[in-house]
Amino acid sequence: MARRGIRNPFEVHLRERYGAPAMPPTQATPTKDQLLTMYRKMYLVRRFEERAGQQYGLRKIAGFCHLYIGQEAVAVGAVEAARPDDYMIAAYREHGHALARGADAGMVMAELFGRDAGYCKGKGGSMHIIDLEHYFYGGYGIVGGQIPLATGMGWKSKYCNEDRVTLCFFGEAAANQGSFHESLNMASKWKLPVIYICENNRYGMGTAIDRVAAVPEIARRASAYAMRGEQMDGMDVLAVYEAMTDAIDYARKGKGPVLMEALTYRFRGHSMADPATYRQRAEVEEEMKRDPILKLREYLVKKKIAKEEDLTAIDEEVKKEVDEAVAFADASPEPALEEIWRDILVEEGEEDVKPRERVLGKKVESWPETPPPDLKVTWEVEPRQPAKKAG
Amino acid sequence: MPTLNLVQAVNDALRVEMRRNPDVVVMGEDVGKFGGVFRATAGLYEEFGPERVIDTPLAESGIIGTAIGMAMYGLRPVPEIQFSDFIFPAFDQIVNELAKLRYRSGGQYAAPVVIRTPYGGGIKGGHYHSQSPEALFIHTAGLKVVSPSNPYDAKGLLLAAMRQDDPVLFFEPKRIYRAARGEVPEGDYTVELGRAKVVREGDDVTVIAWGAMLHEAERAVEQAAEKGISCELIDLRTLWPLDIDCITESARKTGRVVVVHEAARTCGLGAEICALIQERCFVHLEAPIKRVTGWDTPFPYTLENEYLPRAPRILMGIDEVAAFEA
């Protein structure tokens, strides 16, 4: 599939919109601190995933492991554009989303290792990290399975008159699932504050999207639901940040959901078990020239926002953090045998487990709670009455 | 005390809980303005408004998925699946997402969704408006499964279901929605989940049933009594978690057991009950446990009454078990 002419995204932002109704771009500009945070988070995700790949090779991670390398700009740009208490939910390539949200790298790695110190006691593994402290409602292993959940979370925000939005990440192949259609229809009809973010990395496992989708430009499908749809360059964190800032602003104001399509690319195979022979080497090499981390690094240096040595210092800190994460995971025991029977149904008087409190003994301050609903607002859920004919 | 039918009792439970708890919302196809295809939600839209009684699109997977998202922190959605036969588009959401959330989050959260759905045959609904899929959900760890047989239990069990934190499949026997009538207290009360009820005590044969078939079993048990066979009749009420103590106590007493359900026989809940009884009561058994169930066929239209395990067939089962000599 052609890249639709994006060659220099830092100068030319793709702002193509589909469906109703368009908003003028806000030209959000991140501060220096935010830029450095984005760089740090993107490199953390990259380094974490590289080490996860190594650990998989050492058989410390079993089963399936999907690396986010190449797509870092999408999760990081979106998270930085959102508020820390906005809800977030993702698919199975979600280590990066959890880390971008602020999850503890050691506990994420421990979950990958299937250890007790993992976010879900090692019961979930790579595809199923959940960190409610950071309002991250999880990775989901069924393609498209999480999309209706996001619709419900958006519904909750609206019902309780919260001004939160929900960010829902999924791949382009998930957009062919029925759950996508059902969810977007409902979300748009009810004007729910959800941003559906399709990370279009062009391949659903080994099948290119244009081989199986009648309309491979996912954002165009928004028009079928009378909702706003927009493409953004997913290899450019600033483009993502800017486009997501607009989209979040729109949804937070109660104007309805948005379908964002991030044009991105994974540098590795679908999972660790996939040699990715369905892609031409030249294609991968061409895409790797658009590495979102190098791009941001060049930008920061060129614009004199940071010096090379500042960025190298960040790299070194991150490497150390990830080394510690691996060591932390290594040191954690496997879950106790009785865990197999625990957490199936809620036991009498049992409280919800707060992972960082359980593992690290840290006081968890933030935790999702339901505010009492304020039902003064009447929803526009009824079809409009047809206008009376004159005369 | 007012006399209500089963569907009125369900309606009453929803109203009581919605008045008590603003986190409870009802959603589904035609549940709002229309009042529900069986009138289970009649009047709720008028009292609670479109924000709490939500007319959804016809999209079962989307309805259940959305309900899960609502419930993941704090809300208590009560989605209705119009017929339990239509639950299969949502099967993925229930089995893969809803049932696993607490386990896979390592106990971080539960999703208290109560899925109400009319089930079972007896209304000439044919293949797609008659099935009894309860065993499929019992086979999935992380779900509770309930089926009342009378208005009192329907209201009390539904109120209990909406006040606990696990996901519940609430199967309502639509064949007796109006036929089952009884006294139902006004206002608030609950019937504890996980407790079966001995409807009638007896010494010779234990008969286990639930939902609409409880009433067929009751007729069979009365006819057996006329022949001098004393049956103990158990209404399971909560199908999972199973009240195994109640079952084994009775099985040890009588040594002879008949299990009745209208779902197909193979891998039905009856098969599991048989296995549990023989594991626990082997030396007390005096006859092979008998299953009187629907046949292993798609649900038929014209031959519906032949498919369902009605009283004459249950009575034959009781006779057979009572007469067995090793």
Pair (B304, B228) in one structural domain: yes
Q: Do the Cβ atoms of A127 and A139 come closer than 8 Å?
A: yes
Cβ pair A186:B61 closer than 8 A = no
- Is the predicted pLDDT of residue A291 greater than 50, yes or no? yes
Last residue of a domain, one of B183, B214, B236: B183
Which pLDDT value is given to residue A327?
98
Mean pLDDT, rounded, for B111-129? 95
* Side-chain-side CA neighbours of residue B282 (13 Å): 3
By Cβ distance, the residue of A153, A178, A355 closest to B108 is A355
Chain B residues in contact with A118 (beta carbon < 8 A):
106
- Is the predicted pLDDT of residue A376 greater than 80, yes or no? no
Pair (B12, B150) in one structural domain: yes
Q: Which residue of A has its CA nearest to B141?
A: A344
What digits encode the pLDDT tens for the residues B173-197?
A: 999 999 999 999 999 999 999 999 9
Mean pLDDT, rounded, for B139-162? 98
Distance CA A377, CA A371 (A): 15
CB of A124 within 8 Å of a chain B CB? The answer is yes
Pairing outcome for strands B238-240 and A166-171: unpaired
Last residue of a domain, one of B154, B183, B212: B183
Pairing outcome for strands B231-235 and B197-200: antiparallel
Tokens of A237: 């964190």
Which pLDDT value is given to residue A235?
95
Pair (B152, B9) in one structural domain: yes
Which pLDDT value is given to residue A8?
34
Residue B192 belongs to a domain = no
CB of B95 within 8 Å of a chain A CB? The answer is no
Number of domains forming the structure of chain B: 2
In B192-211, the residues whose Cβ lies within 8 Å of chain A are none
User: Residues for chain A: how many in total?
Assistant: 391
Pair (B116, B219) in one structural domain: no
- Is the predicted pLDDT of residue A11 greater than 90, yes or no? no
- Is the predicted pLDDT of residue A5 greater than 70, yes or no? no
Pair (B220, B162) in one structural domain: no
Residue B190 belongs to a domain = no
CA distance A240 to chain B (A): 26
Residue B128 belongs to a domain = yes
Q: Which helix (H) or strand (E) holds B47?
A: helix B44-48
The per-residue pLDDT of chain A, averaged, comes to 90
Distance CA B26, CA B81 (A): 11
Lowest mean pLDDT across A81-85, A238-242, A373-377, B96-100: A373-377
Domains and CATH numbers, chain A: 26-360 (3.40.50.970)
Q: Do the Cβ atoms of B90 and B68 come closer than 8 Å?
A: no
Cβ pair A130:B107 closer than 8 A = no
- Is the predicted pLDDT of residue B107 greater than 80, yes or no? yes
Chain B residues in contact with A342 (beta carbon < 8 A):
107
What digits encode the pLDDT tens for the residues A177-214?
A: 999 999 999 999 999 999 999 999 999 999 999 999 99
Task: List strand residue ranges (DSSP E) for B221-321, in order.
Answer: 231-235, 238-240, 257-264, 290-294
Mean pLDDT, rounded, for A42-65? 96
**In which band, very low, low, confident or very high, does the pLDDT at B170 lie, cut at 50, 70 and 90?**
very high
**In which band, very low, low, confident or very high, does the pLDDT at A10 lie, cut at 50, 70 and 90?**
very low
Pair (B158, B215) in one structural domain: no
- Is the predicted pLDDT of residue A34 greater than 60, yes or no? yes
Structural domain including B289 reads 197-323
Which of B31, B61, B96, B105 would you mutate first to test chain A, the one with the most A CBs within 10 A? B105
In B133-192, the residues whose Cβ lies within 8 Å of chain A are 141-142, 144, 164-166
Cβ pair A148:B66 closer than 8 A = yes
Tokens of B185: 């207290």
> Which phi and psi angles does A222 have, rounded to 5°?
-55, -35
Buried b (16+ CB within 10 A) or exposed e, A224-233: bbebbbbbbb
By Cβ distance, the residue of A141, A179, A368 closest to B65 is A179
The per-residue pLDDT of chain B, averaged, comes to 97
Comparing CA positions, the residue from B289, B291, B279 lying closest to residue B255 is B289
Comparing CA positions, the residue from A97, A91, A183, A188 lying closest to residue A135 is A97
Residue B189 belongs to a domain = no
Would residue B129 show up in a list of annotated catalytic residues for this protein?
Answer: yes
**In which band, very low, low, confident or very high, does the pLDDT at A13 lie, cut at 50, 70 and 90?**
very low
Q: Do the Cβ atoms of A19 and A226 come closer than 8 Å?
A: yes
- Is the predicted pLDDT of residue A380 greater than 60, yes or no? no
CB of A257 within 8 Å of a chain B CB? The answer is no
CB of A381 within 8 Å of a chain B CB? The answer is yes
Q: Using omega within 30 degrees of 0 as the cis cutoff, is the peptide bond preceding B241 cis?
A: yes
CA distance A183 to chain B (A): 6
Pair (B289, B143) in one structural domain: no
Cβ pair A121:B107 closer than 8 A = yes
Check which CATH number belongs to the domain holding B174 and give it: 3.40.50.970
What digits encode the pLDDT tens for the residues A107-120?
A: 999 999 999 999 99
| Percentage of chain A exceeding pLDDT 90 | 82
Residue B188 belongs to a domain = no
Pair (B25, B172) in one structural domain: yes
Reported for B296-299, long-range contacts at CB under 8 A and 24+ positions apart, including other chains, are B296/B264, B296/B265, B296/B266, B297/B264, B298/B127, B299/B121, B299/B125, B299/B126, B299/B127, B299/B130, B299/B131
In A89-118, the residues whose Cβ lies within 8 Å of chain B are 118
What digits encode the pLDDT tens for the residues B66-75?
A: 999 999 988 9
Q: Which residue of A has its CA nearest to B63?
A: A148
Cβ pair A346:B77 closer than 8 A = no
Chain A residues in contact with B108 (beta carbon < 8 A):
120, 130, 132, 352-355
Pair (B201, B263) in one structural domain: yes
In B18-77, the residues whose Cβ lies within 8 Å of chain A are 22-23, 25, 49-52, 54-57, 59, 61-62, 64-75, 77
What digits encode the pLDDT tens for the residues B195-237?
A: 999 999 999 999 999 999 999 999 999 999 999 999 999 999 9
> Which phi and psi angles does B166 have, rounded to 5°?
-90, 155
Chain B residues in contact with A146 (beta carbon < 8 A):
97
Write the DSSP symbol of residue A283.
H
Residue B318 belongs to a domain = yes
Q: Do the Cβ atoms of B173 and B147 come closer than 8 Å?
A: yes
What digits encode the pLDDT tens for the residues A297-326?
A: 999 999 999 999 999 999 999 999 999 999
Pair (B166, B226) in one structural domain: no
For the beta carbon of residue A276, count every other beta carbon within 10 angstroms: 16
Tokens of B39: 């009138």
Last residue of a domain, one of B159, B183, B207: B183
Which of B27, B103, B114, B138 would you mutate first to test chain A, the one with the most A CBs within 10 A? B103
Pair (B289, B233) in one structural domain: yes
By Cβ distance, the residue of B56, B72, B104 closest to A124 is B104
Residue B18 belongs to a domain = yes
CB of A343 within 8 Å of a chain B CB? The answer is yes
Pair (B151, B66) in one structural domain: yes
**Which CA distances in Å does B222 have to B226, B237, B310, B312?**
7, 20, 13, 11
Distance CA A222, CA A214 (A): 14
CA distance B319 to chain A (A): 40
Which pLDDT value is given to residue A25?
54
Q: What angle do CA B159, B195, B209 make, to 5 degrees?
A: 105
Q: Which residues pair with B169 in a beta bridge?
A: B115, B145
Cβ pair A155:B61 closer than 8 A = no
Q: Classify residue B3 by burial, with Cβ atoms within 10 Å: 0-12, 13-18, 19+.
A: exposed
Which pLDDT value is given to residue B104?
94
Which pLDDT value is given to residue A370?
82
- Is the predicted pLDDT of residue A374 greater than 80, yes or no? no
**In which band, very low, low, confident or very high, does the pLDDT at B118 lie, cut at 50, 70 and 90?**
very high
Check which CATH number belongs to the domain holding B297 and give it: 3.40.50.920
- Is the predicted pLDDT of residue A15 greater than 80, yes or no? no
Residue B123 belongs to a domain = yes
In B219-258, the residues whose Cβ lies within 8 Å of chain A are 241
